[in-house]
Amino acid sequence: MSNVITFENVSRFYGEVLGVNRVSLTIPPGVTSLVGPNGSGKTTLMNLMSGLLRPTDGKIEVLGISPGNPERLCKILGYCAQFDAFPKGLTGYRFLYSYLRVHGMSDAECDARTRAALELTGLTGAADRHVAAYSKGMRQRVKLAQAIAHDPQVVVLDEPLNGLDPMARAEAIALFKQWGEQGRYVIVSSHILHEVDRISDQVILLSQGYVVAEGKIQGVRSEVRDQPMQILVRCDRPSVLAARLFQDDHIVEAMIRGDGKNLLLRTKDADSFYLLLNRVILESGLVVESVAPADDDVNSVYQYLIGGEGGTA
């Protein structure tokens, strides 16, 4: 069995409308975020991965299993889809239990897994209430519970934070991180970029059906060469540092900010900047408290590559 999820030159068209085009990806274990504006192909990619859609062209494998083989795939994959719909007349418990029975599990196993999933998502108290009477946040949680009840290795979550209150959102994020650390494949799509940033081991940026960038966010940022990198330096004499830095060509901009000890600068060549900073420290005895990249987050990369602001909470 392969230990990655692969897309090889995958395209999907809805009639003449493009869903995704010539997507080639490798998704390793951990948390992977799909980021992109509405209609960029995030849900299409997730539906293709989980076998709900078939590619028009190309090949997909999820840990060596083709999505065209649901009997094998759905044992290792759980999908929390975007649709806010549930079979009528079922309680939270019965909803999870019934679909676990379709997996072919025994009554006792279904019961145990249902209770465990409800507990994990904080729905034990509402287990006997009809799903139709749940709040939006509870419906989102019961969908999460349904996606993970069979303990899948691959968890695909389409906008899983939608409708969750801040507390539940924090708990969900912690859960995703925990699954990622356990070696599961957690694929999350979200508009809430600063939260994606907190949990992602890697990101896939999509725009208009194409993969714009993929990989670890810092790596992706460093590949965006036409946008100077922003670096925040906190030191005792930022004006001295700024004056010295401007002697080099790659420094585009420098601004003193906050309490007068923060220097935000933009450079076309981060490696040269770090070498220069070392020299300045040695030459002038500058006391530097911290040096940190200021725009290697998802939001910045999103703005540079796709344009516009990413969503916020």
Partner 1 sequence: MSALWMRQIGAVMRLELKRTAFSKRGWWIYCLAAAPVLISLMHWLMARRLSRNHTVGEDSVVFAAMFVWFFMRGSLFFGTMGLFSNLFRGEMLEKTLHYYFLTPIRRELLVAGKYAAGLAVSLALFIPSVALSFLLLGRHFGPAWTDYLTHGPGLSQLGSYVLVTTLACVGYGAVFLVCGQLTRNPMIAAAVVWVWEGLNPFLPSLLKKVSVVFYLRSLCPVEVPVPPPFSILAVETDPSPFWVAVPGLLTVALILLIYAAVSARQGEISYGE
Which residues would be at the binding site for partner 1 (CB under 8 A)? 14, 47, 50-54, 70-75, 77-79, 81, 83, 85-90, 98-99, 101-106, 146
In terms of CB distance, is 148 or 161 closer to partner 1?
A: 148
In terms of CB distance, is 28 or 68 closer to partner 1?
A: 68
In terms of CB distance, is 87 or 183 closer to partner 1?
A: 87
Residue 52 CB, nearest approach to partner 1 (Å): 4
In terms of CB distance, is 83 or 308 closer to partner 1?
A: 83
Distance, in Å, from the CA atom of 257 to the CA atom of 272, rounded to the nearest integer, reads 23
Distance, in Å, from the CA atom of 265 to the CA atom of 231, rounded to the nearest integer, reads 5
Residue 106 CB, nearest approach to partner 1 (Å): 8
Q: Give the pairing type, strands 262-267 and 229-235.
A: antiparallel
Q: Is the dihedral of CA 104, 106, 112, 118 positive or negative?
A: positive
Residue 308 CB, nearest approach to partner 1 (Å): 23
In terms of CB distance, is 101 or 129 closer to partner 1?
A: 101
In terms of CB distance, is 53 or 172 closer to partner 1?
A: 53
Distance, in Å, from the CA atom of 206 to the CA atom of 39, rounded to the nearest integer, reads 9
Residue 131 CB, nearest approach to partner 1 (Å): 11
DSSP string for residues in 142-209: HHHHHHHTT--SEEEEESTTTT--HHHHHHHHHHHHHHHHTT-EEEEE-SBHHHHHHH-SEEEEEETT
How many CA atoms within 13 Å lie on the side-chain side of 130? 7
Burial class (CB in 10 A: 0-12, 13-18, 19+), 80: buried
In terms of CB distance, is 38 or 247 closer to partner 1?
A: 38
SS (H, E, C) 30-59: EEEEEECCCCCCHHHHHHHHCCCCCCCEEE
Residue 71 CB, nearest approach to partner 1 (Å): 5
Closest by CA to 211, choosing from 4, 26, 14, 51, is 26
Residue 177 CB, nearest approach to partner 1 (Å): 24
Residue 194 CB, nearest approach to partner 1 (Å): 28
